[in-house]
Structure 1
Amino acid sequence: MKILCVSDYVDPLIYNQNVKEAFADIDLILCAGDLPMDYVDFIVSVFNKPTYFVFGNHDLKEYHLYHRESRLDGSRFTKSYDQSIHGHGATYLGFKCFINDNLVFEDPQTGKKTPLLIAGASGTVRYNNGLCQFTEAQMKFKLLKLVPKLIYNKLRYGRYLDIFMTHASPRHIHDHEDPCHLGFECYNWFLERFKPTYMVHGHIHLYDLREERIGKYYDSTVVNAYAHYVIELPMKTTEQKDN
């Protein structure tokens, strides 16, 4: 299965009318933050494939719709946010785990088929007290809240997670030393403990083509999704499953 990863930059190679022909075999799209929601909407409309997104530290106009504590005017929600109406056709992955039964992981050794297991986290390290910025302790707490579902995945499917998508990177993997672009040390803990096949992140712009895009941490491949990048998993869609 081929997965299109995008972040941080409205890439003209993606944002054009011929993109579906250029990326005809894409089965899943991951949007790793700092992307206008109309760009996410375009991707969903053109590809018509499952799409997940997280927020970064910019382009946060709709962040309050998904996080009620971020409403600055003190007003209350009168009802839950209906993502099916306002969600741009994409699923918000921030601080959540999902089991996608329509995308099936096929173990390359045993041939066993199980659903795609995916989780995500929005935001960056706190550097100016802005929206969607977190301290190490705050982010670690949010990750700990995912643990019960990850343990359930392990018991039922034999693994915790296939893909972990974030905006910020892990510490010392693709991150920079300025306060804004430091990675989270708790992400390193998460990778070591729960061993997703891929971690996909954004936030680190690749202006220098010599800068590393793909890294490795324990059993996980860490991918910088800046602009766009395509990865693969040993998976097949439900339409391709054996009868």
Structure 2
Amino acid sequence: MSIDKTVGSAHEAVADIPSGASIAVGGFGLCGIPMVLIKALLDQGADELSIVSNNCGVDDWGLGVLLAARRIRKMTSSYVGENKEFERQFLSGELEVELTPQGTLAEKLRAGGSGVAAFFTQTGVGTPVAEGGLPQRYAADGGVALASAPKEVRRMTYRGAEREFVLEPAITTDFALVHAAVADRHGNLVFEKSARNFSPLAAMAGGICIAQVERLVEPGDLDPDAVHLPGVFVDRVIVVGLDIEKRIERRTVRATAATEGE
């Protein structure tokens, strides 16, 4: 029996995401952003969303468009710069934020997708990440309305020395949204260079993974060794084509010989 995971449109793909859902979203900065799916979710109207992603885009792109529309209740991220509206909502108490070290966030997603409930890491030991007290939501008067709780810290032997490790729970979400370069109809995905970033991990953590892809091939066309994410983790595939907008977060150029003397 053939398995065809393609759907007709982005709006169809996200139609059943309810208000209050948790969603893992791939991307790093503005690289590998599933923007077509994000726009479809904006049009769909779901709110009170709990989003897990490395960052929240910028003011008018990426997850920033959902934030500006007041659709996001909580962000779990490792980087929150370059978004003025994010800063405003967080400091005014409109947005809950759970800051997580970047490598820890990646491993929390990977663990969730692998059936691992929690893991111990040295990252964050001796800091508020482990000891608690990080502001997660502010009150209207500027006080801390919600702070992070302390986590379990255990001494264990590692590489012949006794060290402290903090217990980090895995992350699983109701849905995942990712962007890939190529997919087959079975949902096997290939990502393009650095656009892979958090996407395979986000896809693994999501209960229902929706992938937007630039190009679709038939089952058997992909070299198995070239597949970055097996189709077992992917539930829906939509084709967005090669001409989608891809923004650059910071464009820098080097002066040419003709301009160096100017």
Instruction: Output the TM-score relative to the length of structure 1.
Output: 0.30
Larger Rg: 1 or 2?
Answer: 2
When normalised by structure 2's length, the TM-score is 0.29
